[in-house]
């Protein structure tokens, strides 16, 4: 039974703790950081003073406040957890699980075949994503990159890792994702799926590519109310974070189309947050020299998959002023986010369910990967098929 509000009535106890799960890279991942962080959600509306006293009494330290889910990220000793769970103030205590960028190094390539394969350039006759804000929840974006800077809006950008600093990408992953979404059509480097969309750099992953669930929750809280219409999440992990799930529900309710990488689990289960029913889960395909598409061996699969997109040997922008070719479901998801931006420019009244329905109904079913619908059940490899930018923008036909 939970105890009264009085801190003096709390009894010390010990709870075990383990590190958060994440999607490791096939070619070797950096060691998982030690995880001594927890997300604490509160019942009702306790005062800040009551919460501060409770956390202090248990030996914890507040890392950040999570107003979106009535909670806090807390760092503290193992004995803190069981003690917090006995308090009448506390609704839930769970690990601040870790997410990791889902990219895989690949041989270099010179042309962005993925943008061409989904017929994005045909869609530009009707829509370029102009005026649509897309949040890249990632390692940040290279803010001065010559192929990105004209599309970046610093007013909708934020660094949850260190709010005192700009969300400058020191890893490269976020910049690569941003380039696939909206690299500028300026005659240099590469061009993105939605070359006039507005990029919002929301840094939720560190320079090493890791990020805590609480940082992601803070990032989702940030995008609500900023006029952002699409959020790309090219990261994942196998472990559920309940607070993140609630934050995703809030973002969806606020009218934000959520897109996530399915994960690089070599045919294993789809990661969180892609597994969430309100999120568009994207797997990856590659292209053979004869133009045939194939399911990427590293890609996750499962009943949660909604769409597939190019994700093997994808050239895009990188940190500083660089360019790099990468593979992963991280590279597939931004193709879908870019198409969502194209659809929303032409259909500004669409809600997330409308966008998802349009993308699924106009997708190209890849026969080589099997039927896309068996008695209403989606294909575990490609969902409803390969995202098709031109058909998505123009309805059922490509003009």
Residues tagged active-site: 138, 173, 330
Structure tokens at 370: 């099997």
**What does DSSP assign to residue 133?**
E
Whole-number Cα distances in Å, 122 to 52, 73, 190, 198, 214 = 56, 46, 16, 20, 40
Decide: helix, strand or coil at residue 41: strand
Give start and end residues of each alpha helix (H) in the chain. Answer: 48-57, 79-85, 113-117, 120-123, 173-182, 213-223, 242-253, 329-346, 352-361, 389-394
Query: Nearest to residue 223, comparing CAs of 250, 205, 243, 196?
Result: 250
Decide: helix, strand or coil at residue 327: strand
β-partners of residue 295 are 285
Query: Nearest to residue 132, comparing CAs of 398, 325, 393?
Result: 393
In the Cβ-directed half-sphere of 303, how many Cα atoms lie within 13 Å?
4
For 173-211, b/e burial (b = at least 16 CB within 10 A) is bbbbbbbbbbbbbeeebbbbbbbbbbbbbbbbbbbebbb
**Which phi and psi (to 5°) does residue 246 adopt?**
-65, -40
Quick one: three-class SS letters along 354-395? HHHHHHHHCCECCHHHCCCEECCEEECCCECCECCHHHHHHC
For residues 295 and 290, give the distance between their C-alpha atoms in angstroms, rounded to a whole number: 15
For residues 210 and 225, give the distance between their C-alpha atoms in angstroms, rounded to a whole number: 26
β-partners of residue 153 are none
Angle, helices 329-346/352-361, rounded to nearest 10 degrees: 110
Residues sharing a CB contact under 8 Å with residue 319, sequence separation 6 or more, in sequence order: 142, 169, 170, 171, 172, 175
């Amino acid at each position: 039974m939970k105890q009264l509000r009085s801190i003096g009535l709390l009894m010390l106890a010990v709870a075990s703790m383990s590190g958060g799960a994440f999607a490791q890279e096939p070619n070797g991942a950096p060691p998982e950081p030690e995880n001594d962080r927890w997300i604490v959600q509160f019942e009702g509306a306790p005062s800040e003073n009551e919460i501060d006293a409770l956390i202090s009494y248990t030996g914890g330290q507040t890392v950040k406040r999570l107003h979106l889910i009535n909670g806090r990220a807390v760092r503290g000793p193992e004995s803190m957890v069981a003690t917090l769970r006995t308090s009448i103030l506390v609704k839930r205590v769970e690990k601040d699980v870790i997410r990791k960028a889902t990219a895989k190094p690949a041989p270099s390539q010179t042309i962005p075949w993925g943008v061409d394969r989904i017929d994005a350039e045909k869609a530009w006759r009707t829509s370029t994503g102009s005026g649509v804000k897309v949040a890249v929840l990632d390692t940040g974006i290279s803010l001065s990159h010559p192929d990105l800077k004209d599309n970046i809006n610093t007013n909708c950008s934020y660094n949850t890792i260190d709010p005192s600093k700009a969300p400058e990408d020191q890893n490269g992953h976020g910049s690569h994702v941003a380039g696939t979404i909206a690299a500028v059509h300026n005659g240099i480097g590469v061009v993105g799926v939605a070359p006039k969309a507005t990029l919002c750099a929301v840094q939720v992953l560190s320079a090493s590519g890791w990020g805590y669930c609480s940082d992601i929750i803070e990032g989702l809280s940030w995008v609500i109310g900023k006029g952002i219409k699409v959020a790309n999440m090219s990261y994942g992990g196998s472990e559920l974070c309940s607070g993140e799930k609630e934050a995703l529900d809030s973002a969806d309710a606020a009218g934000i189309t959520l897109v996530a990488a399915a994960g690089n689990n070599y045919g294993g289960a789809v990661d969180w947050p892609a597994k969430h029913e309100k999120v568009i889960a994207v797997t990856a395909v590659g292209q053979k020299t004869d133009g045939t598409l194939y399911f990427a061996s590293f890609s996750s699969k499962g009943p949660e998959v909604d769409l597939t997109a190019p994700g093997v040997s994808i050239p895009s922008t990188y940190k500083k002023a660089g360019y790099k070719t990468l593979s992963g479901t991280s590279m597939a998801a931004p193709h879908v986010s870019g198409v969502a931006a194209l659809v929303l420019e032409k259909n500004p009244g669409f809600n997330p369910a409308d966008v998802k329905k349009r993308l699924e109904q106009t997708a190209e079913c890849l026969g080589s990967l099997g039927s896309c619908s068996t008695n209403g059940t989606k294909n575990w490899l490609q969902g409803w098929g390969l995202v098709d930018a031109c058909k998505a923008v123009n309805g059922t036909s490509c003009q």
